[in-house]
Amino acid sequence: MSWWNTLKASLIALFMMLVLTSCDDTRIVDENISIPNQAWFYKNKLGFNFEIVDTNKTYNVYVNLRVGSDYRYSNCFVMLHQTNPSLVQTKERKELILLDDRGNWLGKGLGDIYDYQIPVFTQKRFNEKGLYKLELEQNMREDTLSPIYAAGIRVEYFTPNTSQD
């Protein structure tokens, strides 16, 4: 094996070790769904399931969003549909602020794409153990939003250093 192949194999092994050993002990779920053709139709609800095992803890819930710089609005309204383990459904409308007052993107940018992880519930208490379902629905006045590359959720245990209040 040449020194170049040995170096490549070593770098790949090091990368895999870093990936496998990096932990996120607070995460319950952090999942995104790609939006076909970067066009989010309002009837296209995105569904996510997660398990709550400890009702004594509090949780932070975030909406993840990946948008293109051609996105025409400074915000995005979403409807959060929640189904608890007893199959009781609730819904709540949330506004996600994407640009500041001067028109600067608030997300993390790479080229012409911006990523957001916006808190929608902080220190939320889930009253039942079991499987929860959370659906995201874009709730703007426009039927189809673009360019939206992906949307998702993150649910994590609340710890004082993860709060974004």
Would you write out the chain's pLDDT as a tens digit for each of its 165 residues?
565 545 554 445 445 444 444 566 888 999 999 999 999 999 999 999 999 999 999 999 999 999 999 999 999 999 999 999 999 999 999 999 999 999 999 999 988 999 999 999 999 999 999 999 999 999 999 999 999 999 999 999 998 875 454
Cis check for the bond before 36: say yes or no (omega within 30 of 0). no
Q: Where are the alpha helices (DSSP H) in the chain?
A: 3-21
Which residues form the domain of 117?
Answer: 27-157
In a domain, 12, yes or no: no
Q: Which residues contact 15 (CB under 8 A, 6 or more apart)?
A: none
Structural domain count, the chain: 1
Residue in the structure block whose two tokens are 């710890």: 159
What is the 3-class SS of 35-52, one letter each residue? CHHHCEECCCCEEEEEEE
In a domain, 3, yes or no: no
In a domain, 61, yes or no: yes
Q: pTM, whole model, 2 decimals?
A: 0.81
Output the domain CATH number for residue 67. Answer: 2.60.120
